[in-house]
Amino acid sequence: MVVLAVALLLPSLTAPAQARQPSAHRDPGNGAERNTVAATGAPARALAAVAGENRRSGGQEGYPRQTRLRVFPEDPGDKAIKLGLLPYHALAPKLNALQQRSDRVSAEVIGQTTQGRDLYLVTVTAPESPAQARQQDRWRELIENNPVAAARDPRLARQYKAPVWINANIHGDEWEGTDGAMRVIADLATTTDPDEIGLLRRTRIHVTVTNNPDGRVAGTRANGAGFDVNRDHITSSQPESRAVRDVLIDTQPLVMLDEHGYTGTTLIEPATPPHGQNYEYDLYIKHAYANALGMEKAIGELGHPETTRADIPFRDYAPGDWDDWPPIFTPMYAVYHGAVGHTVEVPLRVNRGEYTGQPVEELRRRSAVNTDVAAATITAGVAYTDAHRRELIADQIELFRRGWAGEPQRDIPDGYVPGFGEEDRYQVEFPRAYVIPAGTAQRSAPAAARLVDHLVANDVRVRRAEHPFRLAGRTYPAGSYVVDMHQPKRGLANVILADGKDISADVPQMYDISGWSHRLLWGASVDISHAEAPTVRTTPVVAASPTGAVSGPAGHPLALTLTDGKDVQAVNALLAEGVPLSRRSDGTVVVPAVARRQAIELAQRYGVRFTRAPAGGPGTPLHGPVVAAAASADELAVLRELGFTVHPVSTQALNDGFSLDGIDVLYVSSGLNHGQLTPDAKSRLAEFLTRGGVVTRGSTGAAFNAATGLLPVTAVAGRGDANGVVTVTNGAGPVGAGSPGHTFVYSPLWFTDLGAGVSAEQRYAAKDPLVAGHWLPSAGGNGPAQAAGEAAVVSGVADAGARTVLFGTEPLFRAHPKGLFAQVARALYWSTVR
């Protein structure tokens, strides 16, 4: 089947009038099938994108836009009930009643959670006719697409309704943001105060009342799949993060608040250094600091002894204590879309040990205070937006104007806001363009397509070259993708595609991860042009071109190289259909000629490329391994996404009699302590190690290897909080061969004293392996200099017989480094060979 990419049919557009791509073409999930995404319903939506129509409504509706929400059955086990807070099942009835009562309230469903609960977006604003709503949409589009014209439009300055976005309860066991938001919604829906009614004529307040319903009900920080949604932005592996990503892009807020808890004293960002180097920080900090002061004043007026002041990290914390460096957090991600983003942490802990240890009366007292704080910060944030509406609009326009113009970031003087100094200066020189090559220069066509779709989903402009071109001394074929950095959201484009920065010397510690790079970790070849953009004719991309193909002649075996996770999915799908596959010494998977029909179907589904198998024997039979995994939720999710049959296991499960019969590979990275196993469990495990394979990751895996005496190596640990993108050299073995030249580490390990029969599949680069991140030496050394040249991944056959692979890296971390997934799959396949 041949599928034509719609973008090739569109006329070329001239910046900055190009409309942004429609939400219908955002990747519905990183595990989505490649060609289905590219092919479904594209023409009308692509033309709508060029026309600049509103993403959600098509500009056809005014406000209110009311939906009768489905009501979920009462759940007496909802953890919010004990706190005197709203259970999830009460939200839809309350919102339905408010919609019936008030024409200022609109509720809609923006997606479903991993467990099937609805995600709600509530908009509170004065009624608008369809014509008025269309005008608001046109102004919002003009601000991003033609900021010079927007700045000159006097009607826009007077009449554009300032969008504010409130995100609540992204961590499920931090409940009160939902209740505070619902209070504000109800108050504004029913108020008769002329000032508040006037505010709603000048603003649109958008509220995702709970971003994590599954976690809210269960009382867990993570969502139903075990992911921390507030670490998933820039990766978008979860439906909850994708839903609010689209809300953010659709509404283009001037200000956003993300309501969390619990820090003892209310915490309100702006944050400490390091500050994201791709921000237009001068436009952010002047509003963020002033707005934080206003929110602090509002909670002080509540009269509670616990709310007399707030912690504002920029003002009150040391560098690195509460930073805004990575784009994984919702407010930090929002900054790249033009919002002044704040995390707000309500003060009094009611979760975890406090939830079970405190009397109900005390928990409810604390929750009532926290709800007051959430409502007060929301009200104050909205009031700041209204009071500074014109300046906020002008500054969002300016942010996008700088992007289109390709202007350098501004130098910010000391004292620009109180306390601003040299330690706050983080800037970057933006390249002129990125190129994602087509053809033979591309390492992985499926990886390139995934990256392009991800960029488009995040509202980064990508264009496809209609003809071959030369750029920065290289020649690129037609069909190559260009990310021209003269675009409104250049900061977001760069935060996705740049290498990042080694900030180890800048701050003593970091709050969370410090390095990420889709260019280096997602498996696609991406080139940088620092000084020039191509002059070739291009067309805007709404979805990457299909990449699947079967090029071998009929009647001959086919080959598939395991370069990307999509290749692994295709292999596992063939194995699930009973197709006899084999694996050659170079890692190539050979598909028999009789399975050509299945290969064609999978090439279309996953975008992979089957070629004619080279001459020679078929290789070793390949079987689909059944995996018992003592692993984190993100690793379990990736292994299942890749198509492996996975059974979770743990110390307790083995002690309870978990059977290893039928298991081919034991994957160990967390939750399995050999020393805590019963004698019977140890005996059954020892028997397994005579016939099964083992793949481990991290310190838990290294400890398991030592306890079971599998591979004779010494594991050396770097500092526990060290993390980032590192350069590696790959060996020719079955796991390292074909892996990217970069990987990700968190609490990095390396292996020394490699005994007989142990091979280094991958080594840290011999000099300066850390590319981006934060990795300081511990007291005994063990920094990047000590890891340089040492083995990061090793393999070997244990005396007991188990084929074993040990990872000192983090190839599945939070489902993010997608270019590394195939390396883990190769380890699993190799470890099952007998």
Q: H-type helices in 152-280, by residue range?
A: 154-159, 176-190, 194-202, 213-218, 239-251
Look at residue 754 and give its three-state secondary structure.
coil
Secondary structure element (H or E) that encloses residue 364, with its range = helix 360-387
Round to whole Å and give the CA distance between 402 and 396: 10
- C-alpha pair distances (Å), 61 with each of 55, 208, 665, 718: 12, 20, 55, 56
Q: In terms of Cα–Cα distance, which of 167, 176, 416 is closest to 288?
A: 416
CA dihedral (764, 765, 768, 774) in degrees, to 10, reads -30
Residue type, 442: Q
Exposure string of 713-745, with b = 16+ CB inside 10 Å and e = fewer, is bebbbbbebbbbbbbbbbbebbbbbbbbebbbb
Beta carbons of 485 and 431 less than 8 angstroms apart = yes
Neighbours of 535 (CB within 10 A): 9
Catalytic residues: 345
User: On the CB side of 764, how many CA atoms lie within 13 Å of its CA?
Assistant: 30
Beta carbons of 733 and 787 less than 8 angstroms apart = no
CA triplet 116, 261, 210: central angle to 5 degrees? 25
Beta carbons of 21 and 48 less than 8 angstroms apart = no
DSSP state letters, 669-734: SSS--GGGS-HHHHHHHHHHTTTSEEEEEHHHHHHHHHHHT-S--EEEE--TT-EEEEEEEE-SST
Listed in sequence order, the residues at least 6 apart from 313 whose beta carbon sits closer than 8 Å to its beta carbon are 267, 269, 270, 271, 272, 321, 322
Furthest C-alpha separation in the chain: 83
Pairing of strands 803-807, 118-124: unpaired
Round to whole Å and give the CA distance between 335 and 395: 12
- C-alpha pair distances (Å), 319 with each of 503, 668, 726: 12, 36, 24
Q: Quick one: how many helices (H) and strands (E) in the chain?
A: 27, 34
Round to whole Å and give the CA distance between 737 and 563: 10
Exposure string of 633-671, with b = 16+ CB inside 10 Å and e = fewer, is bbbbbbbebbbbbbeebbbebbeeebebeebbbbbbbbb
Contacts 24+ apart (CB under 8 A), 611-615: 611/551, 611/552, 611/558, 611/559, 611/560, 612/551, 612/552, 612/553, 612/556, 612/557, 612/558, 612/559, 613/552, 613/556, 613/557, 613/558, 613/559, 613/588, 614/559, 614/588
φ/ψ of residue 527, rounded to 5: -105, 155
Strand partners, 400: none
Residue type, 808: G
DSSP state letters, 384-433: HHHHTHHHHHHHHHHHHHHHHHTPPPPP--TTSSTT--GGG-------SE
Exposure string of 775-787, with b = 16+ CB inside 10 Å and e = fewer, is bbbeeeebbbebb
Round to whole Å and give the CA distance between 24 and 67: 20
Round to whole Å and give the CA distance between 130 and 139: 14
